[in-house]
Amino acid sequence: MGDILASLPAQIQTHIKAITQSSGLPDNDDSYEKLALGWKQKGDLFDEKTQSSGMKEVESLAADDSRGCLALTYSGSLVLIGPQEEGKRTCAYNSIGMRKDMPDSVVKDDSTLKADVALDQPIQFGQGPVQSTSAIYKIAMVVAEMTKIQEEEQINAVTVILTEGFVDVNKALVVTG
């Protein structure tokens, strides 16, 4: 096992190995290490950008909570869950970009959560950009008091920054591959 893969939590290591074939990469240690490097870079970027924007890591978001959040999945995908307005949310799913079995990016304006969003559990949508995600590794929420519009704008802004960063990570992985 490579050094980077070995440095990640066991559940992430398992997930990286499971998604290697769907990425189109050979099922070997070099591919695992490449995906682990990308995952680590995305995790670091998620931490840096959410913290610098005033977001706080939490363990869960209740399905009926009116606030929104950003979530990072075990597979390195980014999920935006906007604030709830009249029972609906704008939600977006941004894949790791290297997988062939998931869409790169999908947004659905009238999304609903089927269950609470919680660490180590997939996000399940009643209506959403996807039916469900892989298990959630991190959740970040806006902590400052603000209007729903301001909260949505802040979550969207961080999502744009993270998505661009994730795309750059993927491009670097393809070039080094």
For 30-84, the pLDDT digits (tens) are 989 988 998 999 999 999 999 999 999 999 999 999 999 999 998 888 999 999 9
Residues 136/72, Cβ–Cβ less than 8 Å: yes
Residue range 132-142: mean pLDDT, rounded? 94
Percent of the chain surpassing pLDDT 90: 64
pLDDT, one tens digit per residue, over 139-162 is: 999 988 899 999 999 999 999 999
Residue range 165-172: mean pLDDT, rounded? 84
The residue behind tokens 């298990």 is 135
Residue range 5-26: mean pLDDT, rounded? 85
Distance of alpha carbon 57 from alpha carbon 108, whole angstroms = 24
Percent of the chain surpassing pLDDT 70: 92
Left, alpha or beta for 46 (phi > 0: left; psi -120 to 50: alpha)?
alpha
The residue behind tokens 């080094």 is 176
